[in-house]
């Protein structure tokens, strides 16, 4: 990595010495400055309920978040077979519930909501989650600049799905008061256009021979920009003149994006689909569209935000259906819903607002306010989540480690759930249990499950992702460079976006270049050339083994090189960094390229995996092998419906 004078930027120039809210170190793992309040410190000091402290406020923590330190140790130790030796005998809390839910993501919260609707408001429900915050992947990042709060999404970005939302999922969204069709009211659609900011591509020296920011003439779905990813008026001229790739490659890009050509002439639509399902998008581009190798380098990462792998591991049919270039003259492609007709809503903290609205419904005292517009700025009261006298309790920092029927699974009237919290193990009992956690964890929890079901559950390994939010002093460099988003095929983070300008309730997004702003960066730690699931495994290990310090240096370098020509100074302009590390990110979605059963048919692993076992039902979006909020809700609905009466 180097600056424009070809010398590596020193740590000092990058601002690694700056006292931003970020890192301390514990066992080589970087923690935030807020780490002094991290639960394990409090647990260690003998505080059994850190959530009751008035300072307990996870959304404002910076540094390494997502699967944060302290959230996965018990689960990994269980996986490694070392947990029970070290744990000691569980202590019985004496607590009994109608329903114990493992997992406080949108699926677990929805399951509680559905159960209460049939069992009544007095039904006793306990939700356990291993993280210090609720919401699962739907996490909120807060930044404070003086008196102003700025928000970012730490995971789940929006209400949006390639499949239509089911009546059940829509029903929940409506019950929460979210009027999806009202989204345009909150979006300042013309803001970027009016200040002349457009999508860009950053060509890096290591991949393309020189560092250069060029207009993106044909921005693809997959970034986080809704319909604001509109190319600038001179984008094609700029790209064709300036992109540091072979002239033939530039022409090929123009042909792919602008010409309607059928690259499989003589085949029916079904035959085209069948052919494209069996080859990768990279193969399609090289062998059928005959593009120059530089086009592959340029497009390599366009699929990463959506699929978690590069174009060599994505089926050409999936690429066509997503709307990637090259298919407009063929009989395959996206359904082409216009944004007006799309079921889409983006809160400034993403679908964390859905999780927060669900919590408000379940435990009103924990989330002040009563409207969708005020939830965005509401400060959750974590002390209220787990109150002794409340019928519904959410217990954070608690990893379920064993879920077992009290007796014969076919006859038992209760399930015992053991969970680790603050270095100790406790048990509770429930008449029913819903596992709204991650499928691949379930075989370690439920030893009694049939082996074939355990195998099917274990198949659901997740897609690793990094969602980084960086608080900048202002966005003047974006303004000077006329950029609102940057695709960086060779970057550590491949996408750098200013969020959709959404103001809702009392929340005001950044509108002018001199205001502080949050820039969102995303990365899929993929390892091109291997089968998709092997890439995910390698990426997961990479994320667990990379220190925050390394990530911070890469973030600073990348922003310095991309925005430096616009006057950006990483040492001066970066005020805070929150890296949301998701080694277990998206639910794994089946691919015609890698999973034989997609083309051959038959029962899928998720169908085998989600079967209810005695009094234990399985929810979460792995149970539907779809990484979407609607699926998390659908599966919760199914699981609740399958509970034994
Ligand atoms: C970075 C990212 C971006 C995404 N963006 C979108 C998007 O824009 N739109 C969309 O629809 N979907 C998106 N998704 C998919 C997202 O996963 C779903 O939308 C949904 O939030 C999943 O909800 P869930 O409850 O099924 O799972 P999760 O959110 O994963 O919740 C499960 C919870 O169970 C916990 N858990 C696991 N094991 C245990 C245990 N043993 N004990 C206690 N707790 C346990 C987990 O830690 C987690 O907190 C995104 C996912 C990621 C990772």
Q: Largest Cα–Cα distance in the chain?
A: 74
pLDDT band at 21 (very low <50, low <70, confident <90, very high): low
CB 370 within 8 A of CB 378: no
Alpha helices, DSSP H, located in 310-415: 316-322, 352-362, 372-375
Tokens of 99: 């329903």
109 lines ligand 1 (CB under 6 A): no
Distance 518 CA to ligand 1 centre (A): 23
Nearest to 516 by CA among 474, 571, 559, 570: 474
Give 111 Cα–ligand 1 centroid separation in angstroms: 14
Q: If you search the block for the tokens 């600056």, which residue do you land on? A: 3
Q: Which stretch of DSSP H or E encloses residue 476?
A: helix 476-480
Any ligand 1 atom below 6 A from CB of 154: no
CA atoms within 13 A on the CB side of 456: 19
280 pocket-lining for ligand 1 (C-beta < 6 Å): no
Specify the ligand 1 atom closest to the Cα of 75: 41
Tens digits of residue pLDDT in 218-254:
987 654 455 667 888 899 999 999 999 999 999 999 9
- Is the minimum distance from the CB of 131 to ligand 1 under 6 angstroms? yes
Of the pLDDT bands very low, low, confident and very high (cuts 50, 70, 90), residue 22 is low
pLDDT for the residue 42: 47
Check pocket membership of 98 for ligand 1, CB cut-off 6 A: no
pLDDT digits (tens, 9 = 90+) for 437-463: 999 999 999 999 999 999 999 999 999
Ligand 1: which atom is nearest the Cα of residue 158? Answer: 8
Nearest CA to ligand 1 atom 50: 156
Pairing assessment for the beta strands 517-523 and 495-498 based on DSSP bridges: antiparallel
Cβ–ligand 1 contact at 400 (below 6 Å): yes
Which of 433, 446, 629, when mutated, tests ligand 1's pocket best, judged by the most ligand atoms within 8 Å of its CB?
A: 629
Out of 43-57, 63-77, 93-107, 472-486, which region has the weakest mean confidence (pLDDT)? 43-57
Residues 130-171 have pLDDT tens digits of: 999 999 999 999 999 999 999 999 999 999 988 899 999 999
> Does pLDDT of 538 surpass 50?
yes
- How much is the pLDDT for 342? 79
User: By mean pLDDT, which of 187-196, 361-370, 533-542 is the weakest?
Assistant: 187-196
Does the beta carbon of 582 sit less than 6 angstroms from any atom of ligand 1? yes
pTM of the model: 0.95
Of 47-61, 245-259, 291-305, the poorest mean pLDDT is in: 47-61
pLDDT-derived band at 39 (thresholds 50, 70, 90) equals very low
Q: Which of 69, 133, 137, 349 to mutate to test the pocket of ligand 1 (most atoms within 8 A of CB)?
A: 137
């Amino acid at each position: 990595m180097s600056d424009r004078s070809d010398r590596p930027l020193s740590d000092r120039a990058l601002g690694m010495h700056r006292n931003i809210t970020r890192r301390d170190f514990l066992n080589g793992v970087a923690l935030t400055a807020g780490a002094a309040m991290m639960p394990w410190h409090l647990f260690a000091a003998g505080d059994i309920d850190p959530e009751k402290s008035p300072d307990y406020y996870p959304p404002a923590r910076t540094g390494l978040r997502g699967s944060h330190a302290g959230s996965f140790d018990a689960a990994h130790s269980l996986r490694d077979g070392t947990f029970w030796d070290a744990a000691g005998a569980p202590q019985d809390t004496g607590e009994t519930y109608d329903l114990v839910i493992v997992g406080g993501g949108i699926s677990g919260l929805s399951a509680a909501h559905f159960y209460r609707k049939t069992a009544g408001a007095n039904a006793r429900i306990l939700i356990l989650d291993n993280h210090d915050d609720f919401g699962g992947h739907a996490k909120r990042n807060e930044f404070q600049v003086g008196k102003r709060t700025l928000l970012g999404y730490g995971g789940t970005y929006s209400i949006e799905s390639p499949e239509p939302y089911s009546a059940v999922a829509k029903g929940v969204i409506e019950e929460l008061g979210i009027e999806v069709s009202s989204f345009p009211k909150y979006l300042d659609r013309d803001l970027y256009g009016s200040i002349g900011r457009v999508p860009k591509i950053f060509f890096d020296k290591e991949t393309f021979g020189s560092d250069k920011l060029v207009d993106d003439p044909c921005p693809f779905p997959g970034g986080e920009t809704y319909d604001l990813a509109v190319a600038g008026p001179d984008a094609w001229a700029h790209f064709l003149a300036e992109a540091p790739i072979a002239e033939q490659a530039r022409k090929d890009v123009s042909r792919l994006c602008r010409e309607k050509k059928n690259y499989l002439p003589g085949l029916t639509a079904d035959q085209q689909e069948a052919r494209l399902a069996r080859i990768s998008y990279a193969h399609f581009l090289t062998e059928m569209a005959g593009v120059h190798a530089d086009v592959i380098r340029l497009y390599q990462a366009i699929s990463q935000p959506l699929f978690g792998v590069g174009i060599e591991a994505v089926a050409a049919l999936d690429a066509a259906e997503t709307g990637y270039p090259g298919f407009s003259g063929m009989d395959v492609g996206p359904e082409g819903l216009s944004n007006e007709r799309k079921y889409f809503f983006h809160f400034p903290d993403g679908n964390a607002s859905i999780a927060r609205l669900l919590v408000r419904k379940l435990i009103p005292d924990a989330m002040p306010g009563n409207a969708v517009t005020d939830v965005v700025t509401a400060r959750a009261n974590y002390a209220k989540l787990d109150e002794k006298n409340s019928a519904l309790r959410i217990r954070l920092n608690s990893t379920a480690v064993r879920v077992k029927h009290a007796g014969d699974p076919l006859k038992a009237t209760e399930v015992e759930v053991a969970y680790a919290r603050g270095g100790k193990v406790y048990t509770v009992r429930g008449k029913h249990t819903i596992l709204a956690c991650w499928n691949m964890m379930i075989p370690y929890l439920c030893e009694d499950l049939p082996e074939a079901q355990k195998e099917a559950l274990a198949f659901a390994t997740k897609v690793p992702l990094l969602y980084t939010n960086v608080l900048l002093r202002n966005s003047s460099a974006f303004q000077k460079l006329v950029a609102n988003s940057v695709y960086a095929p060779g970057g550590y983070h491949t996408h750098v976006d200013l969020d959709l300008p959404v103001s809702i309730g009392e929340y005001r997004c950044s509108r002018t270049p001199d205001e502080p702003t949050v820039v969102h960066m995303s990365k899929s730690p993929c390892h091109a050339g291997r089968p998709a699931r092997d890439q995910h495994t390698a990426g997961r290990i990479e994320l667990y083994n990379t220190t925050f310090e390394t990530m911070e240096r890469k973030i600073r370098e990348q922003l310095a090189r991309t925005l430096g020509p616009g006057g950006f100074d990483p040492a001066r302009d970066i005020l805070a960094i929150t890296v949301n590390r998701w080694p277990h990110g998206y639910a794994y979605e089946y691919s015609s390229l890698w999973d034989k059963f997609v083309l051959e048919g038959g029962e899928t692993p998720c169908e085998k995996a989600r079967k209810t076992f005695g009094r234990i039902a399985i929810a979460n979006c792995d149970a539907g092998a779809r990484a979407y909020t609607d699926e998390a809700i659908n599966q919760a609905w199914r699981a609740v419906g399958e509970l034994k009466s």
